Structures are given as C-alpha cells and as structure tokens.
Amino acid sequence: MRWLVLLGTAMVLTGCDVSMTEQNKYTTYSPADLWPDGTSARPLPAHVVAQGDLAREDAVRNPPPVTAALLKRGRERFDIYCSPCHGLDGRGDGMVVTRGFPRPPSYFEPRLLAAPATTFYDAITKGYGVMYSYAARVEPRDRWAIVAYIRALQQAKRATLAQVPEARERLP
C-alpha cells in the first residue's frame, strides 16, 4: 500500500509543469484590455533612474583631479583605444591611417588646442565624424583620464626648455 501511495505521488508531481514559458503573459507590443490605453507596454513611472546612472552622471559632470596616476591611466587607455587612429603622439598618423582609413585631426591644430576639455570628452562619448562612440567601451572616469593625457600631449608639444629648467640638467 505504501508503494502505491509513493508511486501515485511521484506520478502526480512529475506531471506538474509550471514553466514560465507556458504561463499567460503579454508579449511585446501586444494589445491588452487590462489598461485604458490598450497596450501591454507600460511607460516608466516619473523620476525613474536606472541603477548606476547617478554615479555615471556625477562622473560626467565632475572630472577627477589631474594626478600622475590619472595621467598614467589616461596614457594606457589612449594607447589602447585612441592610438590606432590618432597615433601614439596624437598627430593623426596611427596604424589604421597608414592602411587607408581617413586621417583624424591632429591634436596640435589650433582649433583643438583652444578647444575645451569637454570637446574631447564628448567626441569619445558620442563619436565624431567617422569615429564611432566609445561610450560602451570606455568608462566616464577613463574618458577623463584620456582627456587629461591628450592635454598633457598638447602641453608637451608646446613646452620649451625655458618652461622646464630642470630638463636642461638631464639633456646631454
């Protein structure tokens, strides 16, 4: 008798399938009588913010202070993401340019020397010309690090020995 009860219970339990694929649900853009507007797609409630958006927005609005560590990180990210087109020194003569890709502008053009830092940040974020957006590949803090490194490249190109007197001692 005990075996019959166990066998009956096992048969009943194995017959249950509560798979979510077989539940009643609305598919994307299907009509729904439940809502007054008749659609199943619901608008987001007012003032909804995606997780992490506030921190990202803060990073966009407030660039980090320029430190040696930030410049080091900027150089590393620049070498990875920017140098294939812009070249290691920012002149726009990267490896892909030698292979026929359109030449990007040099960072030493007067227009870019006078441009605010947000110009470079926005180009990394949104893309510019044939350059696609790097927003999905480069985090906001790393974008600012790249911008700081670009500014350091620009400063180094325009520097003179008079501005860096300690460099004279290191030159042969």
Determine the average pLDDT of the residues in 136-158.
93
Q: Is 139 helix (H, G, I), strand (E, B) or coil?
A: coil
Q: Give the pLDDT score at 38.
A: 87
- Per-residue pLDDT tens over the stretch 123-138: 999 999 999 999 999 9
What was the pLDDT predicted at 154? 93
Which neighbouring-strand residues pair with 131? 128
Question: Which residues sit opposite 128 in a β-bridge?
Answer: 131
Decide: 74 and 145 in contact? Cβ < 8 Å: yes
CB atoms under 10 Å from CB of 77, counted, come to 22
- By CB atoms closer than 10 A (0-12, 13-18, 19+), residue 115 is middle
Of residues 159 and 56, more confidently modeled: 56
Q: Which residue has the tokens 């966009």?
A: 60
Position 170 scores a pLDDT of 59
Q: What is the pLDDT of residue 16?
A: 63
pLDDT of residue 169: 64
Question: For residues 81 and 147, is the Cβ–Cβ distance under 8 A?
Answer: no
CB atoms within 10 A of CB 74: 24
pLDDT tens, residue by residue, 64-114: 999 999 999 999 999 999 999 999 999 999 999 999 999 999 999 999 999
Residue 122 pLDDT more than 60? yes
